[in-house]
């Protein structure tokens, strides 16, 4: 007869091989846990709304008689949502079926029999890892009003507020920053505890037997110590004897030290982590960007080019090992990271699909050595990635080709060609330069003939022929990589061609929309 463990194994294999189940679970995981998922923010907003509603109802209920449906909504609906979320988080935390399969494989290898107890133990241990996490404990406690209507338990409303922290990054960020100063904070805690305990005992000894003194118990002594050392000083309890006031003076001075010490710990922790926090923020942003130019090296040329790309609506990410260059790029409004583009580790940390997400890499360093290094690093990670690089010395041209640079830009050659054009046809050169300029409203643009435009080709030709707003220069035939001049006798336009037009930027954009209507 088949054992329970065998049924569990069958079910595990079925679930592991089911693409529908796996994609559904992955989808749920992404919505709950993956900050790069575009639907996560909607889920987070929904949960924040639920928490606020719940807290408002619970707070309002203290003094006002609320309508019963509001209480019903709070106790059953909101709590059910929280419960459902908790169960889903518990479910996606790990893969039980994978645990069962791993156990089976291990036991088969060791010639042991798979038992239901080992499965339950292993799964239970893993799930307990989730349950004991502080955020999970808060989640669980936030559900409690669902089970209890006892008034005392309404204190659990606090946990609903704490639950908010799950959906805001600031708290986790604050926690991670303070974590780096654990030793200093623990030292401070012990110092405060020691000073408070000594002062509480002293003040109790000095004041407890004095009939005029409001401090009569150890609890009051501790309370007074804490209020004084924190420099709050309510004034409800105070020493009346000379000895008691002496203790108060010592604790007040200690309070100033404690306050400045704790402030400096927090400030220095933030200062030390500031760059890391900024980089992390950019990294999180990058994960959400789908298509972008990866720019290695930030200098005057990069700045000029990136401004043009940004104005053209392109996403850009800058990598530079120079801290000042990164700061300049950030100041100029680009996403920039203090990562070394010549190291594979930098791209590992970026954690992006280079082939899928990077349109092109622009290696903009002033040094040929750096540009070749960047190209080789990138090509060794992703062979198909396209690299455009600046060449400084013509003698290195062949090396660029060997490294695999797809487009080599030799500035000196461009200047030579410009000088030639300027010498022969200066005005024609100026006209073309004006069409290239980012500030000019008349531009040379490309219109790709796609399936939506094909039915309107005759209309397009008629617009060009009878109007003056758009000048058609010709069409580029992708299939045979040839250019056909508009005034050629055999000029024709076909699907896939790219038309070159001159016109006002806005009019060309409108024309494209009109043709694709």
Partner 1 sequence: MTAFIFGNNEYTNEIYENISDIYDKIYVLTQNKDDVDKKNNILYFDLSDEWDDLLELMIEETGVAFCVLDNDANNIFLTISLRARFENLYIVSLSTDDESSTKLKRAGATKVLPIVDITASVIFDIIEKPISSTMLHTIMYEKTNLKISQICIGDKSNIVGKYLHDIDFTKIIVVAVIDHNVNTEFIFTTQGHNHKLNIDDVLVIIGYDDDIINFKESIGAI
Residues that bind partner 1 (CB under 8 A): 293, 300-301, 304-305, 308-309, 312, 314, 359-360, 362, 388, 390, 393-394, 407, 409, 411-438, 442, 444-446, 468-471, 473-474, 476, 483, 485-487, 498, 500, 502-504, 507
> C-beta of 229: minimal distance to partner 1 in Å?
58
Distance of closest approach, residue 338 Cβ to partner 1, in angstroms: 24
Judged by CB, which is closer to partner 1: 48, or 500? Answer: 500
**CA 243, CA 353: separation in Å to the nearest integer?**
71
Question: Least CB distance from residue 259 to partner 1, whole Å?
Answer: 50
The DSSP code sequence of 189-257 is HHHHHHHHHHHHHHHHHHHTT-TT-S--SHHHHHHHHHHHHTT---SSS---SHHHHHHHHHHHHHHHH
Nearer to partner 1, 185 or 422 (CB): 422
Contacts of residue 163, Cβ cutoff 8 Å, sequence gap at least 6: 47, 51, 82, 138, 139, 142
Nearer to partner 1, 85 or 445 (CB): 445
Query: CB of residue 420 vs partner 1: minimum separation in angstroms?
Result: 4
User: Using an 8 Å Cβ cutoff, are 374 and 361 in contact?
Assistant: yes
Nearest approach, Cβ of 365 to partner 1 (angstroms)?
13
Smaller CB separation from partner 1, 61 or 406: 406
Q: C-beta of 307: minimal distance to partner 1 in Å?
A: 8
3-state DSSP assignment of residue 488 = coil
Query: How far is it, in rounded angstroms, from Cα 26 to Cα 250?
Result: 59
- CA dist 3 and 299 (Å) reads 69
Q: In the complex, what is the shortest distance from the CB of residue 489 to partner 1, in angstroms, rounded to a whole number?
A: 10
**Residues forming beta bridges with residue 500, ordered by sequence position:** 446, 474
Question: 80 or 433, CB closer to partner 1?
Answer: 433
Closer residue to partner 1, CB minimum distance, 87 or 438? 438
- Sheet hosting strand 442-448, strand order edge to edge: 442-448, 498-504, 470-477, 482-485
Task: Tell me the closest approach of the beta carbon of residue 503 to partner 1, in angstroms.
Answer: 5
Q: Which residue, 23 or 304, has its beta carbon nearer to partner 1?
A: 304
Tokens of 53: 């509603």
Query: CA 18 from chain center: how many Å?
Result: 31
Three-point CA angle 280, 282, 284, nearest 5°: 70
Residue 82, phi then psi, degrees to nearest 5: -65, -40
Smallest separation, CB 286 to partner 1 (Å): 20
Give 231 or 412: the residue with its C-beta nearer to partner 1. Answer: 412
**Of 17, 44, 47, which Cα lies nearest the Cα of 33?**
44
Q: Which residues contact 250 (CB under 8 A, 6 or more apart)?
A: 199
- Please name which of 440, 445, 441 lies closest in space to residue 511, comparing C-alpha atoms: 445
């Amino acid at each position: 007869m088949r054992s329970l463990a065998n049924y569990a194994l069958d079910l595990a294999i079925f679930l592991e091989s089911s693409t529908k189940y796996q994609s559904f679970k992955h989808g749920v995981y992404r919505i709950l846990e993956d900050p790069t998922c575009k639907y996560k923010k909607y889920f987070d907003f929904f949960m924040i709304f639920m928490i606020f509603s719940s807290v408002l109802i619970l707070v309002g209920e203290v003094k006002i008689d609320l309508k019963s449906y509001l209480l019903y909504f709070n106790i059953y609906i909101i709590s059910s949502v929280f419960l459902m979320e908790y169960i889903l988080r518990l479910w996606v935390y790990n893969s039980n079926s994978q645990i069962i399969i791993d156990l089976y494989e291990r036991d088969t290898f060791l010639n042991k029999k798979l038992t239901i107890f080992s499965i339950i133990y292993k799964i239970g241990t893993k799930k307990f890892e989730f349950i004991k996490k502080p955020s999970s404990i808060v989640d669980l406690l936030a559900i409690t009003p669902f089970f209890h209507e006892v008034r005392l338990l309404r204190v659990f409303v606090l946990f609903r507020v704490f639950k908010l922290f799950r959906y805001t990054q600031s708290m986790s960020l604050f926690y991670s920053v303070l974590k780096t100063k654990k030793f200093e904070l623990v030292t401070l805690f012990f110092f405060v505890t020691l000073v408070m305990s000594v002062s509480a005992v002293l003040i109790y000894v000095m004041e407890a037997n004095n009939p005029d003194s409001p401090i009569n118990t150890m609890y009051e002594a501790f309370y007074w110590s804490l209020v004084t050392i924190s420099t709050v000083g309510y004034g409800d309890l105070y020493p009346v004897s000379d000895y008691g006031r002496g203790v108060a003076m010592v604790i007040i001075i200690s309070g100033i030290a404690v306050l400045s010490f704790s402030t400096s710990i927090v400030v220095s922790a933030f200062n030390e982590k500031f760059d890391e926090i900024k980089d992390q923020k950019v990294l999180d942003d990058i994960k959400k960007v789908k298509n972008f130019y990866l720019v290695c090296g930030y200098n005057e040329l990069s700045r000029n080019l990136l401004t043009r790309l940004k104005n053209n609506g392109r996403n850009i990410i800058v990598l530079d090992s120079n801290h000042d260059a990164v700061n300049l790029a950030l100041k100029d409004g680009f996403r920039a990271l203090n990562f070394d583009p010549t190291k594979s580790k930098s791209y590992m940390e970026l954690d992006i699909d280079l082939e899928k997400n990077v349109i092109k890499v622009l290696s903009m360093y002033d040094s040929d050595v750096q540009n070749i290094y960047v190209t080789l690093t990138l090509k060794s990670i992703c062979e198909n990635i396209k690299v455009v690089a600046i060449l400084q010395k013509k003698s290195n041209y062949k090396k660029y080709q060997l490294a695999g640079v797809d487009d080599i830009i030799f500035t000196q050659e461009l200047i030579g060609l410009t000088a030639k054009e300027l010498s022969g046809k200066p005005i024609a050169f100026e006209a073309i330069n004006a069409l290239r300029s980012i500030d000019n409203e008349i531009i040379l643009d490309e219109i790709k003939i796609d399936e939506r435009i094909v039915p309107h080709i005759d209309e397009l030709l008629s617009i060009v022929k009878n109007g003056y707003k758009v000048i058609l220069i010709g069409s580029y035939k992708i299939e045979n990589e040839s250019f056909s001049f508009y005034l050629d006798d055999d000029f024709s336009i076909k699907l896939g061609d790219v038309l070159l037009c001159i016109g006002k930027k806005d009019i060309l954009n409108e024309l494209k929309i009109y043709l694709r209507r």
